[in-house]
């Protein structure tokens, strides 16, 4: 599902809201999550999960084509940990992991 599909589904479930307003709300929520992470805050949505930022230190990397060693700067990466309720619901609704991507294997 992409953001426009999410907006459309929310608008369908809330016919008293205009789709344009739903899009503004979704964008505002996402902007606030990103702003909080940029400040170094953790964003916890009970039952859904928690967003945080993990910091990876600088390290020596390797160019796979030439084999030359190259410095890789430290960086911050977003991290999401699912909440207990989400995990339980996913496992209850789909116990064998037989989702639409279940046939995709990396062999």
Tens-place pLDDT, residues 62-75: 999 999 999 999 99
Each residue's pLDDT tens digit, 13-69: 999 999 999 999 999 999 999 999 999 999 999 999 999 999 999 999 999 999 999
Q: What is the pLDDT of residue 77?
A: 95
CA 79 – CA 53 distance, rounded (Å): 6
54 contacts 77 by C-beta, under 8 angstroms: yes
In the predicted structure, residue 96 carries a pLDDT above the cut 50: yes
In the predicted structure, residue 105 carries a pLDDT above the cut 60: no
Sorted by where each starts, the structural domains of the chain and their CATH numbers stand as: 3-93 (4.10.520.10)
CA 107 – CA 98 distance, rounded (Å): 18
Report the alpha-carbon angle 40-29-93, nearest 5: 100
Q: What is the pTM of this model?
A: 0.73
Percentage, residues of the chain above pLDDT 90: 85
């Amino acid at each position: 599902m992409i953001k426009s599909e999410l907006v459309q589904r929310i608008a369908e479930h809330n016919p008293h809201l205009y789709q344009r307003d739903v899009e503004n709300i979704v964008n505002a929520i996402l902007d606030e999550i990103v702003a909080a992470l940029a400040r170094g805050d953790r964003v916890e949505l009970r039952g859904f999960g928690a967003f945080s930022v993990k910091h990876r230190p600088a390290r020596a990397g390797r160019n796979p084509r030439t084999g030359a060693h190259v410095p890789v700067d430290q960086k911050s990466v977003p991290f999401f940990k699912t909440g207990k309720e989400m995990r339980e619901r996913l496992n209850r609704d789909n116990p064998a992991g037989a989702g639409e991507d279940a046939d995709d294997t990396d062999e």
